[in-house]
Amino acid sequence: MFLIAGFALCLGDKLVLIGITSHYNWAEGFIQLRERYIKKISDEGASVLIIPPMFSDEIADSLDGLLLSGGDDIDPRFYGEPPRDVGSIEPMRDEAEIRLVREFIKRDKPVMGICRGAQVINVSMGGTLIQDIKTEVSGAIKHWWSRRESEVPYWYPTHRVRIEKDSMLFNTVKEEEIWVNSFHHQAIKKIGSGLKAVAWSDDGIIEAIEAEKGFLLGIQWHPEGMEDEPSKRIFRSFVEACKR
């Protein structure tokens, strides 16, 4: 058994149902998800199911697409490394989401990952992560801005991202360079099988990955927190892919 919460909006005669993964607070025993993820999907006319870490793989059969939300660091054991400068981890969530990504890929259904979600996609495909940009990458710009300490508003862009023209992401946002918000201290290192990097910050950190075929997109920034046109286009493109 698994628990799902959410609300539904009909899209014409077809109900497009997108699952969004959630954060599990194992210390206090509750799940949570920022409302803005739900709003961005519902704004495009799709329905939302909130997925807790405890679920059956068969849920992939019932959904048209999967959105992997942000959250804590991935346990490095899932990509074969010892922990170094890692923050809070959610091992049960890690294992569940990695398995779920693979189930969606097997079914050729759209998957989009945001921040941690992009890293989950990469690890699911055999990739690895930079465990802490500040200590591992010389000359790196500031990627971790703390919302809790009120360093910057959630929607505020703090650095540039360059986008590869020969990519699905470029065809979506229609721009070679955009400004994005940034709330991560980890990043993609070795790219997973069947994936390619399609966006980078000025210091060379990978900011987006996508599959060589199908709709499998990982974005390191948080478009759900921004109201600019490129962010809207990203969610619109994802929902459109889920309709097909």
Where in the sequence numbering do the catalytic residues fall? 115, 222, 224
Neighbours of 191 (CB within 10 A): 16
Question: 40 exposed, middle or buried (CB, 10 Å; 0-12, 13-18, 19+)?
Answer: buried
Q: What are phi and psi of 23, to 5 degrees?
A: -80, 135
Contact by Cβ (8 Å): 78, 37 = no
E-assigned strand segments in the chain: 5-7, 17-21, 23-25, 30-32, 47-51, 65-68, 111-114, 129-130, 159-163, 177-180, 187-188, 195-200, 206-211, 216-219
Express the helix, strand and coil content of the chain in percent, nearest 5 each: 30, 25, 45
- CA 79 to chain centroid: 17
Residue with token string 């969004």: 20
Residue 70 to residue 185: CA distance in whole angstroms = 12
Q: Which among 158, 202, 210, 150 is positioned nearest to 184, based on CA atoms?
A: 158
Q: What are phi and psi of 195, to 5 degrees?
A: -110, 160
Residue 160 to residue 178: CA distance in whole angstroms = 6
